[in-house]
Amino acid sequence: RFPDINLRIWVNQGLQVTQNPMEHDLAIYLGGGPFEDARVDLMMSDTVYPVCAPELLVKHPIKNVDDLRAQHLIHDDTMIWNRESQNLGLPDWPAWLAFAKAHDIDGSWGLRIQSSSSVMVAAAAGLGVALARSCIAEPYLTTGQLVKPLAIEYPRRFAYYLVCDSHALARLPVAQVHAWLLEEGDATMGIDRIGRPSTEAANEYS
């Protein structure tokens, strides 16, 4: 949208914040901070649930959680779960099955892929049942490439927040990218910009 703006993107997949968010013009963090003296906007939240190809259900119907026992599970290895805090990161199959009270199903076996998009492709190809984040799975559900066989969704306590120094927004390029990122988050969640919460500190959301 803004071809005259040069972007430099730095990615950190660690669970803990190790950088001062104000070292960059804009930062996207999973979690509630706290970030003192920062402008914080809720960008996007999602849930985690199983998905599979509709053709798979024809051959192997999934009517309840126990039916997952006979399915090939597809693991997204980018979904790292903190088993001590139970609220950081993204729940993997063992964590989701425990949440669904399916304690006797082995959630450790199956196909493991180190790419969320490739996990969706594998599930759409009928290779098994994948555990997916709603923000990534939604386009596949909309087109009918994937379906949700179960209604159980693991709620996310932590969401994605857009963090920046309030003074940085006075610069037009920063303000333009800031507004664009929030619009993209709104589109993903299917909500209007009006009513989106924002605050000068992230503590409210944690």
Q: Judge if 136 and 52 occupy the same domain.
A: yes
Give phi and psi for 86, each to the nearest 5. Answer: 60, 15
For 124-152, what is each residue's pLDDT tens digit? 999 999 999 888 898 999 999 999 999 99
Residue 51's nearest CA partner among 41, 40, 42, 62 is 62
144-175: burial string, b at 16+ Cβ within 10 Å, e else: ebbbbbbebbbebebbbbbbbbeebbeeeebe
For 15-74, what is each residue's pLDDT tens digit? 444 455 556 788 888 765 667 778 888 888 878 999 999 999 999 999 999 999 999 999
Q: Is 98 inside any structural domain? A: yes
Q: Provide the domain limits for residue 40.
A: 21-45+159-205
Q: Is 107 inside any structural domain? A: yes
Q: Is 79 inside any structural domain? A: yes
Give phi and psi for 23, each to the nearest 5. Answer: -75, -15
**Entry pTM:** 0.69
**Least confident piece of the model among 96-105, 115-124, 127-136, 180-189:** 180-189
Q: Judge if 69 and 128 occupy the same domain.
A: yes
Q: Judge if 36 and 67 occupy the same domain.
A: no
Q: What is the mean pLDDT of residues 4-19?
A: 65
CATH number, domain at 82?
Answer: 3.40.190.10
